[in-house]
Amino acid sequence: MTRVLVLNGPNLRRLGIREPDVYGSATFEDLEALCRDAGRRLDLHAEVRQTDDEAEMIRWVHEAADERLPMVVNPAAFTHYSYALRDALAQRTAPLIEVHISNPAAREEFRHTSVVAGVATGTIAGFGLSSYVLALQAVADLVAREKSS
């Protein structure tokens, strides 16, 4: 079973409370269970984490790079300005899928730019929590391709 880090940035632990009209009513615990269940079906061990601390997020990204772990990352607000996170993610050694619950391109203009998208394998956004399931499917497909080549 391939271990994958599912990393979540600021305010995502407040799912279900924070702007339910944008992010839905599901909680962070619901997201954790969804990712673990989807991961099991895809032969992935999804390790879900959340932090409001940019330095902690960067340490987790370094861990993934050092251990050659695939990542699904919802940088949240870090998406739009964290060059430190972008530089850490550029050191990735395995697939990296950027994920967003809402569609940033359909929201406020400041959300239209992702400084991390350029170093990601791909981006999935706008499908609610299903964005994470789609991202895990992409990781599973990429890992399978690497193993067969």
Q: Full-prediction pTM beyond 0.85?
A: yes
Question: Out of 3.20.20.70, 3.30.2020.30, 3.40.50.9100, 3.40.50.720, which CATH number does the structure's domain 2-148 have?
Answer: 3.40.50.9100
Q: CA angle, 111 as apex, 107 and 113 as ends, to 5°?
A: 130
Do the annotations mark residue 101 as ligand-binding? yes
What does the alpha-carbon distance between residue 4 and residue 2 come to, in Å, rounded to a whole number?
6
Does the pLDDT of residue 105 top 80, yes or no? Answer: no
| Beta bridge mates, 140 | none
**Catalytic positions, written as ranges:** 23, 100
Per-residue pLDDT, 21: 76
Per-residue pLDDT, 149: 83
Helix (H, G, I), strand (E, B) or coil at 17: coil
Do the annotations mark residue 87 as ligand-binding? yes
Do the annotations mark residue 74 as ligand-binding? yes
Per-residue pLDDT, 103: 78
- Band of pLDDT at residue 112, cut at 50, 70 and 90: low
pLDDT digits (tens, 9 = 90+) for 53-93: 999 999 999 999 999 999 999 999 999 889 999 999 999 99
What does the alpha-carbon distance between residue 91 and residue 62 come to, in Å, rounded to a whole number?
8
Write out the two tokens for 141: 């497909």
Per-residue pLDDT, 25: 84
Write out the two tokens for 31: 């997201």
